[in-house]
Structure 1
Amino acid sequence: MALATTVAFATPATAAKYRDTSVPMQTVNVNIDRYMGKWYEIARFPNWFENNCAGVTAEYTLQGDTFEVLNTCRQGTPDGPARSRKAEATPVGPGKVKVDFVQMIPGIGVGDYWVLYVAPDYSLAVVGEPSGSTGWVLSRTPQIRQSQLDTAYDVLRKNGYDTSKIQLVAQ
């Protein structure tokens, strides 16, 4: 299982698509306890809800059968003003989670978060979303080696993503 970094609220008709949805997505089993904690957003596919975000982090905290997600974005630069948003995530299958950013109104602001890869030491994770409107490369550290980024991009391509559209995130 895993938690969401962010979730798209755009409708399927208006959200950009970054993956060939005819390619089946392959999730991985995740040790939930090892996945908890702070992750840095290394790269992402462009989306409206992270416009002008740098220094992005996601912190996951186990809450019984669900998880609390605290996403933090810094405006413009890694040391810019911070804004945060909490969500609740519920496991729905191996490597698959539903994330709800608007718990007050059931069904609105709910998104899929699928873990496509996690390094054996849990230092790197690749996550995606079945429609292909979002995807991220996450790390336990603010910077990663080029070989780690290459691994992440290979995972995204194998899952139908067009990595020419991904953006590195300033940390």
Structure 2
Amino acid sequence: MPARLPARHWWWLALLLCVGSVAANLPAIRPVPHVDLARFMGTWYLVGGIPTRYEREAWNAVETYTLRRDGSIRTTLTFNHGRPDGPRKHIEAPARVRPGTGNAVWDVRVFGPMKAQYVVAWLRDDYSLMVVARDARDYAWVFARSHDVAQADLERARQRLRGLGYDLSKWRTVPHTDTTLADNR
């Protein structure tokens, strides 16, 4: 006889099935053709997007990518929660590049065996700004090498997300203060 799932797991299973069925009706997000991982690694400022529940009140958000010897990538997100001087939150998640994707699609292990899709959907030629998306169109992120992004660039990134089928009513610009970099060292 199969083991029974605890009640709290049924909710997650139902959510995953719903997201999966919605994603099945949408075209896959097309990744950029190639990401130079060595150039891509380092510090990226989260400047906006459609956040997860964990990120909804983030200030001074910085994500750092570190390529490991085994080919995996350590992703580290740090931010202040709720206000510029709020408590620091920190999460690390290992990622693996999906073979055959030009290094542009990753599987990020967010907790336990659960993996989240990470698609580099747009990357500026100079690696200064990027859009990360998911086939489910539930979350998306705009990252930059500086927290000071021109409003026109941010609006172009937003329009890229709209073109990918995202609901921009869920958009949030991530506020940054001058202490962002100092707080993340």
TM-score by length of 2: 0.76
Greater Rg, structure 1 or structure 2? 2
For 2:159, the equivalent position in structure 1 comes to: 154
Is residue 2:120 matched to residue 1:111?
A: no
For 1:7, the equivalent position in structure 2 comes to: none
Shift of 1:158: 2.1
SS at match of 2:130: strand
Higher relative contact order (CA 8 A, sep 6+): 1
For 2:76, the equivalent position in structure 1 comes to: 70
Q: Aligned pair count? A: 156
Q: Which runs of 5+ in 2 are unaligned?
A: 1-11, 177-185
The correspondence for 2:57, drawn from 52, 58, 66, is: 52
Identity, % of aligned positions: 28
- CA distance in structure 2 between the aligned counterparts of 1:21 and 1:48, rounded to whole angstroms: 24
The correspondence for 2:96, drawn from 75, 85, 90, is: 90
- CA distance in structure 2 between the aligned counterparts of 1:74 and 1:14, rounded to whole angstroms: 31
Q: Which runs of 5+ in 1 are unaligned?
A: 1-9
Q: 1:116 to 1:21 in 2, by over 3 A?
A: farther
The correspondence for 1:81, drawn from 87, 96, 104, is: 87
Shift of 1:163: 2.1
RMSD of equivalent CA atoms: 2.2
Shift of 1:169: 0.7
Greater share of residues in helix? 2
